[in-house]
Amino acid sequence: MQKNQFIAPTSDFPVFSFVQHFARSVNPFGTQALAVYSATMRVENVFSLIFVSIGNAVSPYVSQNLGAKKIERIKKGYHAALVLDVCFAVLAFIVIETLHTQISSLFLVKDGTTLDYQVSEGYMRWLGYFFIFMGIKMATDGVLRGLGIIRPFLIANMVNLAIRLSVALICAPRFGIVFV
């Protein structure tokens, strides 16, 4: 049994805890805000799945080429993943910037208020700017996993969760739900 086989299941616990803290930071805004936040998170999940998939595809590619001692192919594969991520990030940004109202209406109830749409659109617009970083992070995570370098991967993910939670807990009470 390899020593890294327990990494994936144990890394789910911090994510679950993180989601609970996020829900707690949204809760003071009321049930309607929580519904809008949940709906907008679905949009984030749709777009982020692309970046997660690219990162997951890079991992076995890197492992196979590492085993074959083809280091140059690893570099080319990482570069290709980054180019794909940039393309999808730009596409996602354009889609969100131009169709945010229509996208919001897919996930919000028919009787959504103007405030609901404003909150959803504001959150999505902020999100659009960070897709490029999400893509770079996911591709890099895939390379690190493929190389068997797990510790930096786990530390980076824990730091990412801590930063997102801190920003939500500090900024949401001051600036509103968009910072969650």
**Amino acid letter for position 20:** Q
Please give the residue that has the higher pLDDT: either 91 or 153.
91
Predicted TM-score of the model (pTM):
0.74
Q: Report, in this order, helix, strand and coil percent for the chain, each rounded to 5.
A: 90, 0, 10
Question: Hey, what are 34's tokens?
Answer: 């929580």
Question: Hey, what are 39's tokens?
Answer: 């709906």
Residue 96, SS3? Answer: helix
Closest CA to 179 of 171, 69, 87: 171
For the segment 41-100, what is each residue's pLDDT rounded down to a tens digit?
888 888 899 999 999 999 999 999 999 999 999 999 999 999 999 999 999 999 988 988
The answer to whether 144 and 150 are in contact (CB under 8 A) is yes
**Amino acid letter for position 3:** K
Question: Hey, what are 162's tokens?
Answer: 């801590």
For the segment 155-171, what is each residue's pLDDT rounded down to a tens digit?
888 888 888 888 878 88
Least confident of 58-67, 117-126, 129-138, 157-166: 117-126
Q: How sure is the predictor about 5, in pLDDT bands with cuts at 50, 70 and 90?
A: very low
Average pLDDT over residues 122-141: 88
Q: What is the DSSP letter of 27?
A: G
pLDDT at 7 over 70: no
The predicted pLDDT at position 10 comes to 45
Average pLDDT over residues 122-127: 81
Closest CA to 134 of 90, 75, 79: 90
108 φ, ψ (degrees, to nearest 5): -95, 155
- High-pLDDT (> 90) share of the chain, %: 38
